[in-house]
Structure 1
């Protein structure tokens, strides 16, 4: 039997390969998706390749390859699959938004490209500035306070503004920003740091009910506070999607930290109670549930759902082709319902491919959590992966009428700068954790040689 390393349960001498060449190859394939989709839109709508294809393709390639160079320099052992997947999704989203621009006369794709540029810059800053994700743990409560401030900002009478019934935006001059997108990252960092410190107490069992060890009543404080915050987001901001996302992420991270199924039962019961209270108290929740249960005949509440369903049905198995459908018949197709627009023009095949790509992002995040050597990194990677999982499920579930609409954006596809920039930052954090987890352990013989600079670095890496 081979000897095992107790830190990562891998044979001594095993090291992860850097795989930057594989990442570059996959990144070139993802550029074919983005640039090829842009060209296909021009051919489908105008009958010729867009005249700015060289400039557009060059800028998109510069952003993606620049991100690759940063990863190669700052995180050489990071996961080689995440960045190409994100580049493919972002490139496809830009192509579909451009297709909608050609039909409506807008220039949203150009604006989205600017937001992508800012997202890639923030992605690079995360990797270059944050050399060790464990440093974030020292700012656990700072991130928690920042998340609360960000969530409260849209409620302020001067900054906050209401768009489409939800008060989740702040406006500064001609610019608007959704602080909840940044708050979700701060909350995940806070949850990870808090649960690392208190998981032993939260893991203690209380009463046993139906074979399940329920948590002790004295330990229900954190989940009650998170439940009240989620209800507050629903009550004051009318944002059903963010309310579900925040509570769901905390519940999953709590279960992962304590390994107690009782928390899932308690959290599910609290979620159902909160959802029922929201249905009884708020008209906008009632209208969304009614549109979900009774979309036909279409009215003001269900028209978007019905048009999306008709569009996806018309797309069939392989779609009408980029530029050949009528996605503008769907209200606000570039935002909440971009998945329906893609389903109409790329069909079931295209939508299934997108779901697989999202599934791979979540899988790689959870794989990073499994191989991570420190508890904070494990919870942080898990939480960031669950953010994508819940958000994609909620959005696609609402578009396909599996669950009521919630108003979240589809990561990397939908138009929206706040979401795009925040999601690029999340990918940067995941790659930083992945690099730390996959980086080979230092040679113990060198670590014992003397208290030099390399020795200190080795001790930090071993955690």
Structure 2
């Protein structure tokens, strides 16, 4: 900011840091209009009337989002003003789409003895838990740099969480993937928590060892490859990813964890050679597992022949593509499609349901919102003043980038189906809660990065004060 000095000459005072909480509140009003308006549109499209519980539902959604805004305003006043409204819009839209699928399930079993599967109420409960942890993270974690002290603790905890589904008592199979843990009436996916802990562990490790990992080895085709002695970390992560793929039958988590580590390793060292080595290991591991793992072969077969025999598992992809093709550019409208024909349309294939009833326009709008989350996360990494915060923010943003790519890529048959959930949209308690915590961590780093630098200047002491100081220190 330019000001006038006492002698009338222009002078530079410094940058004015704006909190932008008013802009965040305005965007949150638009986000709430998307969520509550979508819920009302579902009722009108299916039953021809606004849902009777719109006041209770809308009021609770307003309470949750306003609580988040107040927590950010108090605990992280300089945080990014765009992230929370984008997340609120996605979560609200996801609740509306899941409610639409619930109504279709209820209609499908009407007149029969079958009980319909409904998910919207449970998803709202999980959102409440996620918001509570979001607020708790902002209040308890006042400085993200504290997490660097627990680099190896978080890494060990993440590995233990990944092993939990393999335990004989609590680990269970769901649809061929052993990624669930049943704790009495509650089930969870430990991998959703592990991905957050792994980012913290990776960042803490790479901050300390990035200088050694950045040293160049042999040169091959204009690319400096890393030294052989430095391949230990990437080989360890490669083996862990292959173990997840082989023993847990979880292609999505394997790809996600390995992709996060490889991206953070490249960002920390700025060496393209790591991408070459990591890509070669990925191709070798994928071909090796494909040669003997039947579930991977089925996924590839469904990818190559999405409209082939349903027994190969291509029914999900085929029905999703049929639904999106029927939706066209603008969609059929809420209540005018048949999303229940898509298996798992409330979770893995919710983008297929959105494409059918909201069309390509709705799908592109959702992708744009995810792009904003990734962009704001990377922007936070750029402006962050410490290396650990930079890597954590980058890693958390990469989680959304990779996860959305593999999910939408699988639904549209761009890549083989992986089974990950779409963040904030899909039904799933573990995923929703973990993603709310991720946003809280990014906002904490953003608040730290955007805060004004403390003024460390001091006035020069007068001649009398200087004389007193000299007399005080003179022997």
Which of 144, 156, 160 is residue 133 of structure 1 equivalent to? 144
The verdict on how the C-alpha distance between 1:267 and 1:68 changes in structure 2, with shifts beyond 3 A counting, is: same
1:236-315 → structure 2 map (5 Å cutoff): 236-300=247-311, 301-315=313-327
1:423-442 → structure 2 map (5 Å cutoff): 423-442=435-454
CA–CA distance in structure 1, aligned partners of residues 306 and 126 of structure 2: 35
Tell me what 2:224 maps to. 213
* Alpha-carbon contact 2:21-2:77 (below 8 Å) kept: yes
**TM-score, scaled relative to structure 2:** 0.91
Tell me what 2:99 maps to. 98
* Alpha-carbon contact 1:15-1:439 (below 8 Å) kept: no
Q: 1:57-103: per-residue Cα shift (whole Å, max 9, x none)? A: 00001000100000000000000000000000000000000001111
CA–CA distance in structure 2, aligned partners of residues 154 and 439 of structure 1: 42
> Does 2:64 match 1:53?
no
* Alpha-carbon contact 2:411-2:417 (below 8 Å) kept: yes
* Alpha-carbon contact 2:306-2:413 (below 8 Å) kept: no
Question: How many residues are treated as equivalent by the alignment?
Answer: 440
Tell me what 2:237 maps to. 226
Instruction: Identify unmatched segments of 5+ residues in structure 2.
Output: 3-11, 107-116, 462-475
* Alpha-carbon contact 2:207-2:388 (below 8 Å) kept: yes
> Does 2:79 match 1:68?
no
CA–CA distance in structure 2, aligned partners of residues 230 and 110 of structure 1: 34
Q: Secondary structure at the match of 1:413?
A: coil
Q: 1:332-366: per-residue Cα shift (whole Å, max 9, x none)? A: 10010000000000000000000000000000000
CA–CA distance in structure 1, aligned partners of residues 334 and 222 of structure 2: 54
Which runs of at least 4 in structure 1 moved beyond 3 Å after TM superposition? 446-449
Shift of 1:296: 2.5
Which of 424, 438, 461 is residue 412 of structure 1 equivalent to? 424
Q: 1:100-135: per-residue Cα shift (whole Å, max 9, x none)? A: 111113331000000000000000011000000000
Q: Secondary structure at the match of 1:444?
A: coil
CA RMSD of aligned residues (A): 1.3
CA–CA distance in structure 2, aligned partners of residues 44 and 83 of structure 1: 29
Between 1:131-140 and 1:271-280, the stretch displaced more is: 271-280
> Does 2:396 match 1:384?
yes
* Alpha-carbon contact 2:326-2:356 (below 8 Å) kept: yes
Instruction: Identify unmatched segments of 5+ residues in structure 1.
Output: 3-10, 450-463
CA–CA distance in structure 2, aligned partners of residues 103 and 295 of structure 1: 25
**TM-score, scaled relative to structure 1:** 0.94
Q: Secondary structure at the match of 1:206?
A: strand
Shift of 1:447: 11
CA–CA distance in structure 2, aligned partners of residues 430 and 117 of structure 1: 19
* Alpha-carbon contact 2:302-2:308 (below 8 Å) kept: no
* Alpha-carbon contact 1:15-1:438 (below 8 Å) kept: no
CA–CA distance in structure 1, aligned partners of residues 412 and 69 of structure 2: 35
The verdict on how the C-alpha distance between 1:267 and 1:91 changes in structure 2, with shifts beyond 3 A counting, is: same
CA–CA distance in structure 2, aligned partners of residues 212 and 446 of structure 1: 50
CA–CA distance in structure 1, aligned partners of residues 434 and 403 of structure 2: 13
Tell me what 2:178 maps to. 167
* Alpha-carbon contact 1:366-1:385 (below 8 Å) kept: yes
CA–CA distance in structure 2, aligned partners of residues 239 and 447 of structure 1: 63
Larger Rg: 2
Shift of 1:445: 1.9
The verdict on how the C-alpha distance between 1:324 and 1:138 changes in structure 2, with shifts beyond 3 A counting, is: same
